[in-house]
Amino acid sequence: MNDQTYPSRSGWIAGIIVTVILFVLPVFLGNLGKTGEYWIWVSTEMIIMALFAMSLNLILGFGGMVSFGHAAFFGVGAYTVALLMKKADFPLYLALPAAPMVAAVTAAFIGWFCVRLSGLYFSILTLAFGQLLFMIVFQWYTFTGGDDGLHGVPRPEILGPINYYWLCLIIFMVCFLVIRMIVNSSFGLTIKTIRENLDRAKFVGINVRRYQLLNFVIAGAFAGLSGGMLCELNRFAQTEFLHWSKSAEPILASLVGGMYSLAGPAIGSSVLIFLKIFLQQVHRSMVEIWAIFLGVLLLIVVLFAPQGLVGLYQNIFHKSRS
Amino acid sequence: MSDPILSIQNLSKSFEGNQVFNDISFSVERGELSAIIGPNGAGKTTLFNLITGALVPDQGKVIFEGQDIVGMEPFDIVRLGMARAFQRTNIFPKMTVLENIVITIITRLNTNLRFVRHWNSSKEIKKRAFEILESVGLADKASHQSGTLAHGNQKRLDIGVALALEPKLLLLDEPVAGMSPEERWETVDLVKDLWNQMKITMVYIEHDMDIVFGISQIVRVLCYKTLLAEGPPDEISANHQVIEAYLGEEV
Amino acid sequence: MTWQLFVFMMINGLSQGMLLFIIASGLSLVFGVLRVINFAHGSIYMIGAFLAYSLSTILSGQSLIGFLILLMVVPPVIAILGLALEVTLFRRVYREEHLLQLLLTYALVLILDDLVRVIWGGEPRSVARPELLAGSVDIFGMALPSYNVFILVVGPMIAIGLWLLLYRTRTGNIIRAAVSFPDTLGALGVNVSWVMTSTFMLGCWLAGFGGVLTAGLSNIDLGIGMQTIIECFAVVVIGGLGSVGGALLGSLIIGTGLTFFQLPFGRWALVFPYALMALVLIIRPWGFFGKPER
């Protein structure tokens, strides 16, 4: 079985332990003053980006569709929250749910065209649409603030750093379970079948485009939610959220973590963010060459461990067992 | 008396100016077990592609169950009750044998849009899947990753996937290609048994004349861009044109 | 719009298009033969531009000879960089899935772009144009910037050179065969890996050449790699992946389109390449000159 979506008993136990640790983590960090606050912020970002990576992996790992425009939905979610809260005075509990909805509508529009293409052409069209959206946000000063972005997104008073961390963690947990459910459902099996052999899938009667589009929309919705969450964390939305280099982040995370596993992309994303900050702590100038470091890491993964960290771990684990 | 399940009418197809078929017509009777033969390059697989919607003919009609299906999407044609197995093994290699069959049943039942329950939670689907695996002799390999099966077993799984669609018409493209002699006859017996039990109309492409003349009711010969001959095996094997054009060259 | 303005903008747009063609034709050729979309093509081009800048500071003055030396030296250096990349990295992923190939080239973007920043810093740079090309020339009684006219002369020369190479030499025949029938090449007794390496070097040579020309045309900064690779994508998508003639058409459309749309739309003109790229992909994904892949 190549898709690692069926947790064993030890998997469950590990999951519960990790969950508990994640929930009590900010309590400890809260006592560490400034450093602790910084790490709470970092952890919140990790959780959000983990959700973004998992959303991409619905189409990338499970659907076999390589999108270079996924940040478009992330950015649309972020701008939805920023615009609704800043310009329309929406409260967060209405603005945040609106993010995945607006992102889903955007994904439905873009996806309707994209799923007509496959392989490389699909990738390039997602890139084109993503950059198109980026350019529109970039140029439309009066509405989006252009390259200044939208700053000063209000934060409800009750949501201090720790509370916001918990909110994000709960949202993440729910999304994780929902994504797991989707992946293991009949629908999940359908999209995996399409990934395996698109042409043959048609000959078992699967309306390929329809399910690819639906999957694209679901992934877009989760990306939009994560974008909205990051917008509220940073209290701003900026054009970089839609840029294609942002689209590459969850791809890298999925590759590093392992595309065919459920938690792999989330782990990969967290590992990458942690590495970046770790390097920064080691020496400030290390961040200067972060991209080089990331590039070299990516080269190594592509050339030597295309199954990702999870795959690597499984290979070693299986070898040691047999 | 005549009750065609499939009728090809005046079909023509060219690729970049090269004509593959010129005005070809024939009908397949319901319940028939028939073979399509022809020299390499006669367009046998292309014919299947035209029938199943993988390719669109330049001209002509494909009437399946009284409906012209030219221009329909392959998956819609499958839903009307036409299934095919492929010459080159064409399954879902990283999924288990069971998953291969289950997704096909799910699709036939049109329950792909269930999001909540695990796909293997339906007892009926599982039971049906194991019946099919039983009938193609793969029940004991249900949990194997299908890409790791031996070639012969992959071809059987391919047939199993087609059967899981519970088709009225089954098109088999060289079902025994690449098999060892023993495997060949096992598979031929399997096909014949399935045909006997399930009362499916079957059309298969085959090169092995022993098999073709051994089990077919009707043999059709494709050659020179057209249907050269059509009839019971003994008639075909005595047909001078066929012998000249095809058998003489190959045997 | 007066006709003088029209001619002026046409010269401007066409020279931008020609410059883009020089770069994009390299991307297209490499895709045609190697079947890899090289995201790092823009970064390689950027290295060419910055290398030209560094070399120009050594070669003093604004002499034409100095500029010609840049054009002679930088592209081959970039081609050798390409040789190194192809032999050590690209070669290992030809048989892998698209995704891994794309990620490999993307990793190179990360590394090369950051290297450029580390080596040359973030400030915009430029190469002084030689005096002969710095002014303007009188054509039809109009003063046209001579550097743009120079690009308009050099661009078609490159195009013709490529055409001669592809259609009049044995190497070109092999490259074209590789584009059309990638599987059969080995059977013809051709050293496939040599064809791939030299094509990749040619692609890099073109990127380097475009880099030198850009450094003389306008300021170069760390963003030009990204911006150019996306424009190149638009070009090859419009023209058809792998088609050099298509790249010419696509480049001229993008170049003139960008220039002319600036009048009515201002900054919004920058949306044009992406919109056109999306439109072409939707209605004719294989481009105007490409063949549908089956």
CA C157, CA C144: separation in Å to the nearest integer? Answer: 20
Q: Measured between beta carbons, which residues in chain A are less than 8 angstroms from residue B168?
A: none
Identify the pLDDT of residue C186.
66
- Among B79, B91, B112, the residue with its CB nearest the CB of A190 is B112
* Residue in A with minimal Cα distance to B121: A185
Chain C stretch 87-126, residues whose beta carbon is closer than 8 A to a beta carbon of chain A:
89, 92-93, 96, 98-100, 102-104, 106-111, 113-115, 117-118
Residue segments in chain C with a per-residue pLDDT below the cut of 70: 1, 60-62, 182-190, 287-294
pLDDT at B80 over 60: yes
A70 at interface of B, judged by CB pairs closer than 8 A: no
Q: Measured between beta carbons, which residues in chain B are less than 8 angstroms from residue A311?
A: none
Helices (H), A141-260: 141-144, 161-184, 186-196, 198-203, 208-234, 244-257
Query: Do residue A135 and residue C274 have CB atoms under 8 angstroms apart?
Result: yes
Alpha carbon of B236: minimum distance to chain A alpha carbons (Å): 32
Is the distance from CB of B160 to CB of B85 less than 8 angstroms? no
Question: Environment class of residue C165 by beta-carbon count within 10 Å: exposed (0-12), middle (13-18) or buried (19+)?
Answer: middle
Strand C136-139 with B82-85, pairing: unpaired
Look up the domain containing B144 and give its range: 90-166
Identify the pLDDT of residue A287.
72
Tokens 């710095």 found at: C134
Alpha carbon of C104: minimum distance to chain A alpha carbons (Å): 6
Q: Measured between beta carbons, which residues in chain A are less than 8 angstroms from residue C46?
A: none
Residues A25-42 have a mean pLDDT of 87
Query: Do residue A205 and residue B113 have CB atoms under 8 angstroms apart?
Result: no
Residues A84-96 have a mean pLDDT of 94
Residues B77 and B94 in one domain: no
- Among C100, C115, C281, the residue with its CB nearest the CB of A292 is C115
Identify the pLDDT of residue A7.
61
Structure tokens at B213: 């003349």
Q: What is the DSSP string of chain C?
A: --HHHHHHHHHHHHHHHHHHHHHHHHHHHHHHHH----TTHHHHHHHHHHHHHHHHHHS-S--HHHHHHHHHHHHHHHHHHHHHHHHHTGGGGTTS-HHHHHHHHHHHHHHHHHHHHHHH-SS-B-PPPPHHHHSEEEETTEEEEHHHHHHHHHHHHHHHHHHHHHHHSHHHHHHHHHHH-TTTTGGGT--HHHHHHHHHHHHHHHHHHHHHHHHHHS-B-TTHHHHHHHHHHHHHHHH-TT-HHHHHHHHHHHHHHHHHHHHHHGGGGGGHHHHHHHHHHHH-TTTTTS----
Identify the pLDDT of residue C35.
83
Query: Do residue A202 and residue B116 have CB atoms under 8 angstroms apart?
Result: no
Alpha carbon of B138: minimum distance to chain A alpha carbons (Å): 17
* DSSP letter, residue B66: T
Residues B13 and B123 in one domain: no
- Give a yes or no: residue A208 inside a domain: yes
Residues B158 and B171 in one domain: no
- Domain limit, last residue, from B149, B166, B183: B166
* Residue in B with minimal Cα distance to A191: B112
Which range among A215-224, A250-259, B82-91 has the greatest average pLDDT?
A215-224
Helices (H), chain B: 44-52, 74-79, 97-108, 123-135, 151-164, 181-198, 209-215, 233-238, 240-242, 248-250
Q: Which of A65, A290, A302 to mutate to test the interface with C (most CBs of C within 10 A)?
A: A302
- Domain limit, last residue, from B127, B147, B166: B166
Alpha carbon of A155: minimum distance to chain B alpha carbons (Å): 34
- Give a yes or no: residue A317 inside a domain: no
Q: Which tens digit of pLDDT belongs to each residue from C88-124?
A: 999 888 888 777 888 899 899 989 998 999 999 878 8
Identify the pLDDT of residue A321.
40
Q: Measured between beta carbons, which residues in chain C are less than 8 angstroms from residue A116?
A: 282
Residues B186 and B237 in one domain: yes
Q: Which of A68, A120, A260 to mutate to test the interface with C (most CBs of C within 10 A)?
A: A120
C131 at interface of A, judged by CB pairs closer than 8 A: no
A116 at interface of B, judged by CB pairs closer than 8 A: no
Residues B151 and B110 in one domain: yes
**What is the band of B247 on the pLDDT scale with cuts at 50, 70, 90?**
low
A35 at interface of B, judged by CB pairs closer than 8 A: no
Phi, psi angles (nearest 5°) of residue C293? -85, 130
Number of domains composing chain A: 1
Query: Do residue C277 and residue A113 have CB atoms under 8 angstroms apart?
Result: no
Residues B101 and B157 in one domain: yes
Is the distance from CB of A191 to CB of A62 less than 8 angstroms? yes
- Give a yes or no: residue A213 inside a domain: yes
Identify the pLDDT of residue C57.
87
**Nearest Cα to A317, choosing from A273, A233, A258, A266?**
A258
Neighbours of chain A (3+ CB pairs under 8 A): B, C
Query: Do residue C282 and residue A129 have CB atoms under 8 angstroms apart?
Result: no
Residues B63 and B183 in one domain: yes
Q: How many residues does chain A have?
A: 322
Q: Measured between beta carbons, which residues in chain A are less than 8 angstroms from residue B115?
A: 181-182, 185-187
Q: Residue B206 sits in a domain of what CATH number?
A: 3.40.50.300
Residues B157 and B196 in one domain: no
User: How high does pLDDT run on average in chain B?
Assistant: 89
- Give a yes or no: residue A220 inside a domain: yes
Q: Which of A110, A114, A299, A304 to mutate to test the interface with C (most CBs of C within 10 A)?
A: A299
Structure tokens at C231: 């424009």
Is the distance from CB of C288 to CB of C235 less than 8 angstroms? no
Alpha carbon of A130: minimum distance to chain C alpha carbons (Å): 9
Look up the domain containing A115 and give its range: 10-243
Residues B63 and B128 in one domain: no
CA C270, CA C256: separation in Å to the nearest integer? Answer: 12
- Give a yes or no: residue A194 inside a domain: yes
Q: Which tens digit of pLDDT belongs to each residue from C200-222?
A: 999 999 999 999 999 988 889 88
- Among C98, C107, C274, the residue with its CB nearest the CB of A119 is C98
Residues B181-186 have a mean pLDDT of 87
Query: Do residue A299 and residue C100 have CB atoms under 8 angstroms apart?
Result: no
- Structure ipTM: 0.90
Q: Hey, what amino acid is at C183? A: D
Count CB-CB contacts under 10 A for residue C58.
Answer: 8
- Give a yes or no: residue A270 inside a domain: no
Residues A107-116 have a mean pLDDT of 95
Residues A175-192 have a mean pLDDT of 95
Query: Do residue B90 and residue A205 have CB atoms under 8 angstroms apart?
Result: no
* Residue in C with minimal Cα distance to A135: C271
Number of domains composing chain B: 2
- Give a yes or no: residue A301 inside a domain: no
Count CB-CB contacts under 10 A for residue B76.
Answer: 13
* Residue in B with minimal Cα distance to A186: B119
- Among A113, A117, A291, the residue with its CB nearest the CB of C110 is A291
Q: How many residues does chain C have?
A: 294
Alpha carbon of A211: minimum distance to chain B alpha carbons (Å): 9
- Give a yes or no: residue A303 inside a domain: no
pTM recorded for the entire structure: 0.89
Query: Do residue A296 and residue C102 have CB atoms under 8 angstroms apart?
Result: no
pLDDT at B31 over 60: yes
CA C260, CA C172: separation in Å to the nearest integer? Answer: 36
Query: Do residue A132 and residue C271 have CB atoms under 8 angstroms apart?
Result: yes
Alpha carbon of A41: minimum distance to chain C alpha carbons (Å): 26
Residues B156 and B182 in one domain: no
Identify the pLDDT of residue A312.
66
Chain C stretch 180-199, residues whose beta carbon is closer than 8 A to a beta carbon of chain A:
none
